Amino acid sequence: MTIERVALVLALASCLASNVGSYQGNGPQTRALTKRSGWNVRLLSNLKAKSRAPIATDDESLQGIYATILIVPEEGILLEETAYPVEIDSQKQRVHLSPMSAHSAVKYDVDGRIFCYVVSGPGVGISRISKSEKRVGALGCLSAFAYYDEDGDGRFETLLSLDSQASFTLHVPSWVNKWRR
């Protein structure tokens, strides 16, 4: 891993860990999609931890929440289940698929129970050649997404497209409070 990549991952984790709270209903980070069956985070859940530390905050109500920087392979992890909503008009929206190659990942937990994964990396285009073969090409744009387990059942029902121009604010679901020590 290059020094530049390590610095980028540490800067991302520092930025993410220092902005704890909840996302607001009308901010740029509310581009959320809900999938009752849960978004596929299997590849993220298999990653090993590089470092784990409590979130640095003066807010005592957030004690017990940890941020873990995950070790992502140098080539990244292809996440095909990433998307964001696009508003067509005030009554309708459609889902825009936005696959990415995650090059950094952070998970947030309380007492070992994960409630959020945040990933970032370049957006990719995927061409299907056959049922078993596909070609993946980087698009050059950076993407960032957060997956949330809103009810503590282990399924990550909410996918939040993060605005690259806004600072990230971690949403802490209400169920997390019962697991704090």
Give the pLDDT score at 2.
45
Mean pLDDT in each 10-residue stretch from start to end of the chain (181 residues)?
40 38 37 85 93 83 86 87 66 66 91 93 70 65 88 92 74 85 60
How far apart are alpha carbons 98 and 124 in whole angstroms?
A: 8
Give the pLDDT score at 89.
62
Give the pLDDT score at 150.
94
Q: Which of 26, 65, 54, 23 is nearest to 159 (CA)?
A: 23
- In angstroms, what CA-CA distances link 90 with 19, 64, 162? 30, 40, 21
How far apart are alpha carbons 123 and 98 in whole angstroms?
A: 7
Q: Where are the alpha helices (DSSP H) in the chain?
A: 3-18, 42-45
- Strands 77-79, 100-102: parallel, antiparallel or unpaired by DSSP? antiparallel
Structure tokens at 78: 């292809």
Give the pLDDT score at 169.
80
Structure tokens at 53: 């530390």
Instruction: State the CB neighbour count (10 A cutoff) for residue 144.
Output: 20
Q: Where are the beta strands (DSSP E) in the chain?
A: 20-21, 31-39, 49-54, 65-70, 77-79, 83-87, 93-97, 100-102, 104-110, 113-128, 134-148, 156-161, 170-171
- In angstroms, what CA-CA distances link 136 with 35, 47, 59, 97, 124? 25, 21, 43, 14, 6
